[in-house]
Structure 1
Amino acid sequence: MTAPTPTRSGLDQLAGEFVTLADALDYAADGETGLNFYSIRGELTLAMPYRTLRHEALALARRLLQLGLRQGERVAIVAETHPDFMRVFFACQYAGLVPAPLPMPFVFGGRETYVAHVRRLIEEAQAVALFVPEALRGWFSPADAGSLRLCSTLAGLPADGEDLPCGGTGADIKLPTIGADHTAYLQFSSGSTRFPIGVVVQQRALMANISGILQHGLQIRPDDRAISWLPLYHDMGLVGFLLSPLAGQVSVDLLATQDFVRRPQLWLSLITGNRGTISYSPSFGYELCTRRERAINKTELDLSSWRIAGIGGDMIRPASLASFARIFAPCGYRPEAFLPSYGMAEATLAISFAPVGRGIETDIVDLDRLEQDGVAARPASLDTRARTLVLCGTSLPGHEIEIRSVDGDALGDRRVGRIFVRGASLMKGYDRRPDETQAILSPDGWLETGDLGYRLGDTLVLTGRAKDLIIINGRNIWPQDLEWSIERSVADVRTGDVAAFSIEQDGHETLIVAVEARGVADPADSERLVRAVGDAVRAGHGLDSLVVLMAPGSLPYTSSGKLSRSAVRQRYLADRLAAVAVPA
């Protein structure tokens, strides 16, 4: 096909009203819509109608079973924004296999770090097969396969009938019957553990979340069209902009994440050219477009079709969104298109949505009362230190949200506490991690999200993370991971000599790394240490950081012997860190 799939499917629109994801694809395949893949030059490289995806996924499902894979086994897939990922993911749905999407290497500092990370994810998932993109064919040697029985690109599969465990042809293979209680996929989620663990997402939970997203959150229409550059290994990209549109028979125009980062105009140009109506981004996507304003030809843009500009994945900064709306207003962008929402992988994706068509609504609170008393009180005067917080709407139908104190008591309006959620979209549990599951999921179905917030009637307002989670560019980053990378990579840094945290600086989240500088004799030594720490963070995590050198023994610890990152952060903000010899 030389043209993208049409916007209208020609079917009676069903908004996620299916038992399984395979049922949703079966229905969408009778229509005209599908997936469209675009290059960094903005050119359509392939239009894949849902009927084509279904046909190819069914054939591949039989091939995978013919290769000896068995129902319920896990298949790791590097989640490239490419038709091959879609083919393998949906083949797993029909074959009763459990796909586990893996990140692409652009979020890592190099080949060695990336391969080691993927190897651990494969082990965590207990995957028996791994599919990688053609571009990464040479990155994985037989030694990387470990317990894998299959490690291949899609094109590298053996020919039909060639040295296959089951013999015969793919057509001889009978596909299993998949029901609501079967596992749809594993979604890796970074929690309080040292390494990501798999969230078990059942078909029942997935379809409950998708129907809530389409019907309640987005209020889907027959003339909607989705545009996305979000990574498919992340729940917002996978569920929000692959699985949900498919289950609503909506066409999706897809850009690779790294292509968007290089050329953010591509996102806005696709919305313009294809009359996109729904697209989401964490804060950094809107901020990137704002920062690159001069490189974007606004005279070529028409954003008047964009009715839902979703925002999620991190704390929402209303000032950044206001800048985006102001800059692109001449292009037809309407600020009421902004749609705040809240979610997490443990709830499949979405938990709450603000009302469609009302844009960013905020609550201004007394910052001192918020910090000291845990009360979101209105400022007493114009001189009061204040914080502007975004309203994240109401819970999906059939779901409940509670704000609880540290003692577990339900709190009233404007009382800040831990956010708990219950409903049909929640995970079955972490994969083979009963202790971690029990720690956050109660026997009566309440999930402790790890976030803090308060209520205004039925409306949820987030205030931040309950723990030390660092959120940069929509990524959830645990400080321990950064600290361990530095301790492993930099010979001059001992265990316990480093603390990582983030601050908001000039409207952006900035990563700060405080390091105790041992053996630093002059500015040259300081410069080498700063550079080595920065390189370690960049190589291991793909992040830039501001490195602060401190006097040995000056990092604060709690009475139980744990590093107090919150105290380090407070001292930094108060300019009371015992900094030493930072090079000019």
Structure 2
Amino acid sequence: DFIRFFFACQYAGLVPVPLPISLHLGGHQAYVTQLKRLLESCQASIAMAPEGFLPFLEEAATELDLVLIGGPETFASLEETHGPLSPLESQELAYIQYTSGSTRWPRGVEVTQSAVMTNLSGIIQHGLQVQPGDRCVSWLPFYHDMGLVGFVLGPIASQLSVDYLSTRDFAMRPRQWLELMTKSRATISFSPSFGYELCVRRLGEDFNEHYDLSSWRIAGAGAETIRADSLSRFAKTLKASGFKPEAFLACYGMAECSLAISFAPLNKGLEVDRVDGDQLSNNRLAMPFFQFSTDDNQARCSKFVNCGVPLPGYEVQIRNKNGDVLDERESGVIFVRGASTMTGYFNDPVMTEEVLSPDGWLNTGDIGYWVKNSLVIIGRSKDMIIINGRNIWPQDLEFMAEQQAEVRPGDSSAFSVSSPDGHEIAIMVVQCREMDTQKREDLVQRLRSLVHKELSIPCYIELIPPRTLPRTSSGKLSRSRAKADFLTRIQWEEVTPMLSTIARSA
């Protein structure tokens, strides 16, 4: 139904706006509130939802002036019209894509016909180098840019077959993804890192199922920080099923650029850049790290995945806070300009002006650096933890937590907060299944000591129940919401003495 409606809008000259179907964002009322914000933000006049979600849509639109609301059957019963169809213009809006993190303050990316077609051309010809006989499988949601552009518009533009698995079915039973890859002999499928992690977690190391993944030539990874260790575990677990680690393809992109900005080389697997963590934190230099002989040396090594060269037609610069263009291995904010970049955020000139310059340069908000004309992505600038003038990346803290036996990948979130006395404090919130009080305290002390040993900073550790950390509509960890949730429940008068003790011990 989604695909039929999406292209019906194209024919009719309407602007489709895919919205998330996702109750894990906080339950019934939170979802209804989010839907209302999105409907208001895009100035919707018509809304369609599957029958199961229609009550949520109707509740969200109660006070809004929509012309028509209904399910597929409602629209199928409308009288047909036979008027002339106007040809599409290149600068006409193709659709509005909401960014995955925009729940409280929605940001709708304006994607033109020309922008998305230019991006599709780059993806098909250069990023994937599509071949005759390629076949796709996707469980990615259609409201996400990788699901929509990569696996709805992409297969249509390249005339490839694609088999879909619902996102809900994948989350409940991820092995269905592997079963569908086996059955269809698919060659192309993508997932954020957490999708590969979920497969390994559910399969276990001694699974008995037989899969044939020998046809899988492109196992794309993107949409969030690429966790090389997680993908390596996936490759190791499914080696006997014919999966080849060389199939992994790292890429970088964002909805503000339709989808893709850069791709790593095909058939090479993941290229991990190992850099001196102290140099990166203190001097913003991503200097190669060669010594791996001791645990202490390993602790100072930060690892990032190379996301390859930009697609043709893009200009990419890495700049410091003063706007100066940086050289190789100098980390800074990534700026992009090209035919696939957005025209702006819908009905939001203030936010558009913040990120898009008059001459077309887009501030991605991501931090990265160059290595031999390839982009290496470190993370989001807004997620950076700054303690005593040092830049600490949340991924480094989260990785420490996830190396503990009690913690699974994706079960930790690191950020910083300002205490009442004005000091910036590193916080790590960790989902923990352990119920024994002493074992929980041991985990906290172990993590605190590890952070102090490796980064020389104090860190407050909070243990929370499983399935508590907030996610975006596409399933990614939301550090900003985790921080907001932490601040709503923290009692400063209770934790300040503890933080003072931690600070003194550091």
Q: Which of 511, 528, 541 lines up with 2:413 in the alignment?
A: 511
Residue 216 of structure 1 aligns to a residue whose secondary structure is helix
1:377 matched to 2:280: no
Deviation at 1:552, TM superposition (A): 2.0
Deviation at 1:555, TM superposition (A): 7.2
1:87 corresponds to which residue?
4
**Partner letter of residue 138 of structure 2?**
S
Q: TM-score, normalised by structure 2?
A: 0.78
Pick closer, same or farther for the CA change 1:231–1:381 going to 2, 3 Å.
same
Deviation at 1:386, TM superposition (A): 0.5
User: Structure 2: how far apart are the matches of 1:536 and 1:306?
Assistant: 34
Q: In 2, are the aligned partners of 1:516 and 1:551 still within 8 Å (CA)?
A: no
**Partner letter of residue 324 of structure 2?**
D
User: Structure 2: how far apart are the matches of 1:532 and 1:459?
Assistant: 39
1:444 matched to 2:359: yes
1:341 corresponds to which residue?
251
User: Structure 2: how far apart are the matches of 1:116 and 1:128?
Assistant: 18
Deviation at 1:295, TM superposition (A): 9.1
Pick closer, same or farther for the CA change 1:296–1:132 going to 2, 3 Å.
farther
User: Structure 2: how far apart are the matches of 1:325 and 1:204?
Assistant: 37
Residue 34 of structure 2 aligns to a residue whose secondary structure is helix
2:77 corresponds to which residue?
159
Q: Which of 331, 346, 370 lines up with 1:431 in the alignment?
A: 346
1:147 corresponds to which residue?
65
Deviations 1:296-346 (A, max 9, x none): 955420000000000001111111111111110000000000000000000
Q: In 1, are the aligned partners of 2:33 and 2:60 still within 8 Å (CA)?
A: no
**Partner letter of residue 111 of structure 1?**
H
**Partner letter of residue 466 of structure 1?**
S
Q: Where does 1:183-582 land on structure 2 (aligned, <5 Å)?
A: 183-189=93-99, 194-294=104-204, 298-379=208-289, 381-382=291-292, 383=294, 384=297, 385-468=300-383, 503-504=398-399, 505-506=401-402, 508-509=409-410, 510-511=412-413, 551-552=492-493, 576=503
Deviation at 1:238, TM superposition (A): 0.7
User: Structure 2: how far apart are the matches of 1:187 and 1:391?
Assistant: 27
User: Structure 1: how far apart are the matches of 2:175 and 2:150?
Assistant: 21
Pick closer, same or farther for the CA change 1:208–1:273 going to 2, 3 Å.
same
2:393 corresponds to which residue?
none
Query: What CA RMSD, in Å, does the superposition of the two structures yield over aligned residues?
Result: 3.4
**Partner letter of residue 462 of structure 1?**
I
Flag structure 2 segments of 5+ consecutive residues without an equivalent. Answer: 386-395, 404-408, 420-436, 438-461
Pick closer, same or farther for the CA change 1:160–1:443 going to 2, 3 Å.
closer
Residue 250 of structure 2 aligns to a residue whose secondary structure is strand
Deviation at 1:112, TM superposition (A): 1.9
Deviation at 1:105, TM superposition (A): 2.7
Deviations 1:261-294 (A, max 9, x none): 1111110111111100000000001111111123
Q: In 2, are the aligned partners of 1:298 and 1:331 still within 8 Å (CA)?
A: no
Instruction: Please identify, of 394-403 and 381-390, the stretch whose mean Cα deviation from structure 2 is larger.
Output: 381-390
User: Structure 1: how far apart are the matches of 2:60 and 2:101?
Assistant: 29
Deviations 1:403-425 (A, max 9, x none): 11111111111111111111111
Deviation at 1:174, TM superposition (A): 2.0
Deviation at 1:177, TM superposition (A): 1.6
- Total equivalences in the alignment: 433
Q: Which of 8, 19, 27 lines up with 1:102 in the alignment?
A: 19
**Partner letter of residue 317 of structure 2?**
E
1:182 corresponds to which residue?
92
User: Structure 2: how far apart are the matches of 1:184 and 1:352?
Assistant: 22
Pick closer, same or farther for the CA change 1:276–1:380 going to 2, 3 Å.
closer
Deviation at 1:533, TM superposition (A): 10
User: Structure 2: how far apart are the matches of 1:211 and 1:319?
Assistant: 31
Q: In 2, are the aligned partners of 1:516 and 1:549 still within 8 Å (CA)?
A: no
Residue 155 of structure 1 aligns to a residue whose secondary structure is helix
Q: In 2, are the aligned partners of 1:516 and 1:552 still within 8 Å (CA)?
A: no
Instruction: Please identify, of 460-469 and 439-448, the stretch whose mean Cα deviation from structure 2 is larger.
Output: 460-469
Deviation at 1:468, TM superposition (A): 2.4
**Partner letter of residue 224 of structure 1?**
D
User: Structure 2: how far apart are the matches of 1:515 and 1:371?
Assistant: 18
User: Structure 1: how far apart are the matches of 2:104 and 2:54?
Assistant: 29
User: Structure 1: how far apart are the matches of 2:223 and 2:472?
Assistant: 22
**Partner letter of residue 416 of structure 1?**
S
User: Structure 2: how far apart are the matches of 1:539 and 1:416?
Assistant: 27
Q: In 1, are the aligned partners of 2:136 and 2:151 still within 8 Å (CA)?
A: yes
Residue 286 of structure 2 aligns to a residue whose secondary structure is coil
Q: In 1, are the aligned partners of 2:35 and 2:60 still within 8 Å (CA)?
A: no
Deviation at 1:190, TM superposition (A): 5.4
User: Structure 2: how far apart are the matches of 1:191 and 1:257?
Assistant: 18
Deviations 1:119-152 (A, max 9, x none): 1100000010110101123334477241111111
Deviation at 1:255, TM superposition (A): 0.6
User: Structure 1: how far apart are the matches of 2:286 and 2:352?
Assistant: 31
Deviations 1:163-201 (A, max 9, x none): xxxxxx42x322222121110000012578951211000
User: Structure 2: how far apart are the matches of 1:141 and 1:233?
Assistant: 19
User: Structure 2: how far apart are the matches of 1:444 and 1:417?
Assistant: 20
Report the identity percentage: 45
**Partner letter of residue 357 of structure 1?**
N
Q: In 2, are the aligned partners of 1:451 and 1:462 still within 8 Å (CA)?
A: yes
Instruction: Please identify, of 546-555 and 205-214, the stretch whose mean Cα deviation from structure 2 is larger.
Output: 546-555
Residue 415 of structure 1 aligns to a residue whose secondary structure is coil
Instruction: Please identify, of 109-118 and 86-95, the stretch whose mean Cα deviation from structure 2 is larger.
Output: 109-118
Flag structure 1 segments of 5+ consecutive residues without an equivalent. Answer: 1-83, 162-168, 471-500, 518-522, 524-529, 557-567, 579-584
User: Structure 2: how far apart are the matches of 1:205 and 1:137?
Assistant: 32
User: Structure 2: how far apart are the matches of 1:540 and 1:457?
Assistant: 33
Q: Which of 123, 134, 137 lines up with 2:51 in the alignment?
A: 134
Instruction: Please identify, of 186-195 and 393-402, the stretch whose mean Cα deviation from structure 2 is larger.
Output: 186-195
User: Structure 2: how far apart are the matches of 1:229 and 1:469?
Assistant: 31
Q: In 2, are the aligned partners of 1:106 and 1:258 still within 8 Å (CA)?
A: no
Q: In 1, are the aligned partners of 2:304 and 2:376 still within 8 Å (CA)?
A: yes
Q: In 2, are the aligned partners of 1:299 and 1:331 still within 8 Å (CA)?
A: no
**Partner letter of residue 85 of structure 1?**
F
User: Structure 2: how far apart are the matches of 1:311 and 1:243?
Assistant: 18
**Partner letter of residue 153 of structure 1?**
G
1:16 corresponds to which residue?
none
Pick closer, same or farther for the CA change 1:452–1:115 going to 2, 3 Å.
same
Pick closer, same or farther for the CA change 1:221–1:147 going to 2, 3 Å.
same
Residue 287 of structure 2 aligns to a residue whose secondary structure is coil
